[in-house]
Structure 1
Amino acid sequence: MATPNESSNSRDKILDAAADLLAERGVTQLTIQATADAVGITKAGLIYHFKTRDDLLTALVERMVAELDAQVGAPAPNDAKPISLRAKMAELTSFTFDMPASQKKLMANMLAAASAHPHLLPPVQALFTRSYEALDHGPKVGLAQLLSVALDGLLLIELLQ
């Protein structure tokens, strides 16, 4: 039986391969068998970690949300000094326009997956909620929220190109 570390490493390899397949081929081509083949394991080996394709998609969405939270998410609750509006907008602008093409393809296909599988939406919606709530302080709350929503729209346009 695999140790917890080996199991976690296998799970990460599976998620990496699934993310690559999703980015390259889209959600309709992401199957348990295609993912197992990409990792170089048996279908049964993959099913040990992810019982269904939906489980695999859910894990991909959860990982993407965690990565996005780490990149541009809300500051930690115990941060002594809140980030300035200018710094936050610069960070979001950079994230929107400097994203590698491979990440754009993956995010676009993840959005397509979420639209076809509504159970994938809550973690994404929670990410947006946390992002907007992080802007709910300071003297320019309205401006911060407006700019953030505008950047989200620009990100969507970037993803769809």
Structure 2
Amino acid sequence: MVAEQAALGPARERVIEAAERVVAEVGAARLTLDAVAQSAGVSKGGLLYHFPSKESLLVALAHRYVDSIHGCIAAARDGVGKGPAQELKACVQGILGSERCMRAMTSVLLATAANDLKLLEVIRERMAEHLREIEASSSDFARAAVVTLAVDGLMMREALRISPFSVEQRAQVVDKLLELADEASR
């Protein structure tokens, strides 16, 4: 029984990863269970065993997005040093400095929003929680909020591949966001 359950985990993960790939390759509007099953190398019945509907797959993608973003921020926390700006700076570095977060952003937000806006609730809840964490660690809420909005905006532009910034300009923007994060925590 334990070996059987262990085998379920990798297949489930393959399906979620395949869903991300399908969205990245053909777009959120063309996300179908057939395309995901084919990309994952499983039968449609196998896919339906793990995700009985497209909505359940999208919910799993939303949870994966939240976990990925949370993991990227947590991983960046140690690198930005201790201090009052740690949480906000970890947000900037963790999200904008991680290709993993960009991949999650692209596939999940587009797929969930394109299919059913109520599926974004999982993401909304985590964003609200993160905002409360930043608010608690910042003395200037408005400045901290501007930093998080700028992070979201840059991430969205890059996810949609519409960012006009050169590598050097992007680095300047990230540096300025880190500077504003310090200012928000003074």
Q: TM-score range by the shorter chain?
A: 0.7 to 0.9
Q: Residues of 1 paired with 2:28 and 2:137: CA distance?
A: 41
Q: Hey, what does 1:91 align to over in structure 2?
A: 90
Unaligned runs of 5+ in 2: 75-81, 163-186
2:18 and 2:69 map into 1 onto residues whose CA distance is: 19
1:138 Cα deviation from its structure 2 partner: 4.1
So what's the TM-score if we normalise by structure 2? 0.69
Structure-1 residue corresponding to 2:58: 57
Percent of counterpart pairs with the same letter?
25
Instruction: Tell me the secondary structure at the aligned position of residue 136 of structure 2.
Output: coil
* Paired residues for 1:127-146 under 5 Å: 127-138=126-137, 140-142=139-141, 143-146=143-146
CA gap 1:13/1:138 in 2 versus in 1, 3 angstroms: closer
Number of residue equivalences: 152
- 1:18-37 to structure 2, matched below 5 A, reads 18-37=19-38
Q: Residue type of the partner of 1:146?
A: V
| Residue 114 in structure 1 maps to residue 89 in structure 2 | no
Question: Any idea what SS the aligned residue of 1:136 has?
Answer: helix
Q: Greater helix share, 1 or 2?
A: 2
Residue by residue over 1:112-153, the C-alpha shift from the partner in whole angstroms, topping out at 9 and shown as x without a partner, is 223231121101101210110001224614233332233223
**Alpha-carbon separation, structure 1, partners of 2:120 and 2:7:** 30
The residue type paired with residue 130 of structure 2 is S
Q: What is the rounded CA distance, in whole Å, between the counterparts of 2:134 and 2:104 in structure 1? A: 27
Q: 8 Å contact 2:102–2:159 — kept in the other structure?
A: yes
Q: Secondary structure at the match of 1:51?
A: coil
Counterpart of 2:156 in structure 1 is: 156
Cα RMSD (Å) of the superposition?
A: 2.6
Q: What letter is aligned with 1:134?
A: E
TM-score for both structures, normalised by structure 1: 0.79
Change (3 A) 1:28 1:138: closer
Greater relative contact order, per chain length (Cα 8 Å cut-off, separation 6+): 1
